[in-house]
Amino acid sequence: MHPVVSLLIQRLALGVLLLLAASALIFGLTEVLPGDAAQAILGQSATPESLANLREEMGLNRPALTRYFEWLGGILTGDMGNALTNKLPIADQIGKRMSSTLFLAFWAALISVPLAILLGLIAVRYQNRWPDKIISGVTLASISLPEFMIAYILIFFFAVQSLSWGIWGWFGMDPVAFPSFASVSPTMTLGEKLYSITLPAAVLTLVVLAHMMRMTRAAILNVMQSAYIETAELKGLSTFSVIYKHAFPNAIAPIVTVVMINLAYLVVGVVVVEVVFAYPGMGQYLVDAVVKRDVPVVLACGVIFAAVYIILNIIADVVSILANPRLRHPK
């Protein structure tokens, strides 16, 4: 068997095992949560009969291992059950919420990924000069601030104070106030959707852009120490040509890895951003379920987030293998 095929099969098998382990961990964590889920749902005034009926409906009177395998079998067949709070099918709700989260993540990624690579190339080209210092300083500040703080800063300047802020006049534009509560619906046009998600997409872009740009810069600078780079410079090639044509292709493996990790964050780690902007995505759905102790919804969201993260990491591994001859031919 070809080494590449063998490595790919190993990565896929490892991904399946990791997903099974993540599902068991998520189920186990919901089991050890303090308090009684039935009591939390019905309230302190619930009668013993109603509590017993709800526990029977939720299956809490059965062994945890039995309930885990029943739940896992339902997940594998696409049956995630019904939410406890509204009795609606969880799969249908997640389908709507996931489409909203992917819409937000897509536009944030569309802006951040090429911009991060471009800024990384510029930072390397002007290493230790003012463009590099400005780019590195801004990205370091973006990494240092938590997402919710960046979100509130943007809300203050572009939603609350936007109409009275003079920056729009600098560009000859009329004052524009972006919505502080982001929401999308199928009836909205693409322009209306983009206008609605401007601020949350900007927050996500600033966060992931900083990580990807700094990793791009570090990966290319590491390659720039190689002997073949010095040979290319001695041939008289321009600095940007050396970086773009020789250093960047050989630094693609770590760059792809960090890009995939940040893409996973755009889908999995948007909980804080969605809560701040009341965006109807998976993160908001998960938080609402946690508050209401809707265990089936928490389990379904947790498994989906784990699956997305594992799949994107497998893709990063595969691209790294295909891009690196030493990994393609490990012997």
Q: Which two tokens stand for residue 81?
A: 């059950």
Looking at residue 89, the DSSP 8-state letter turns out to be B
CA distance 182 to 101: 12
What pLDDT is recorded for position 290? 81
CA-to-CA dists, residue 185 to 57, 99, 168, 189, 276, angstroms = 33, 10, 29, 9, 18
CA distance 236 to 322: 30
Q: Which tens digit of pLDDT belongs to each residue from 276-300? A: 888 888 888 888 888 877 788 888 8
pLDDT-derived band at 27, boundaries 50, 70, 90: confident
What pLDDT is recorded for position 248? 77
pLDDT-derived band at 2, boundaries 50, 70, 90: low
Backbone phi, then psi, for 10, in 5-degree steps?
A: -65, -45
CA distance 105 to 101: 6
Domain boundaries, the chain: 96-295+305-323
Q: Say which residue, 107 or 29, is predicted with more confidence.
A: 107
The reported pTM is 0.81
CA angle (106, 308, 266) in 5-degree steps: 35
Q: Which tens digit of pLDDT belongs to each residue from 126-151? A: 888 888 889 888 888 888 888 888 88
Alpha helices in the chain (DSSP H): 3-31, 37-42, 48-58, 64-76, 90-125, 130-144, 147-155, 167-170, 190-196, 198-223, 227-234, 239-241, 248-250, 252-268, 271-276, 282-291, 295-323, 325-328
Residue 173 reports pLDDT greater than 60: no
Residue 153 reports pLDDT greater than 70: yes
Question: What is 96-295+305-323's CATH topology?
Answer: MetI-like fold (1.10.3720)
What pLDDT is recorded for position 136? 85
Q: Which tens digit of pLDDT belongs to each residue from 195-243? A: 888 889 999 888 888 888 888 888 888 888 777 777 877 777 777 778 7
> Which range is most confident: 37-46, 77-86, 215-224, 243-252?
215-224
List the single range of 104-113, 167-176, 222-231, 252-261 with lowest mean pLDDT.
167-176
Q: Which two tokens stand for residue 202?
A: 């900007």
pLDDT-derived band at 183, boundaries 50, 70, 90: confident
CA distance 253 to 255: 5
* Mean pLDDT across 181-195: 84
* Mean pLDDT, the chain, whole residue set: 80
CA distance 48 to 56: 12
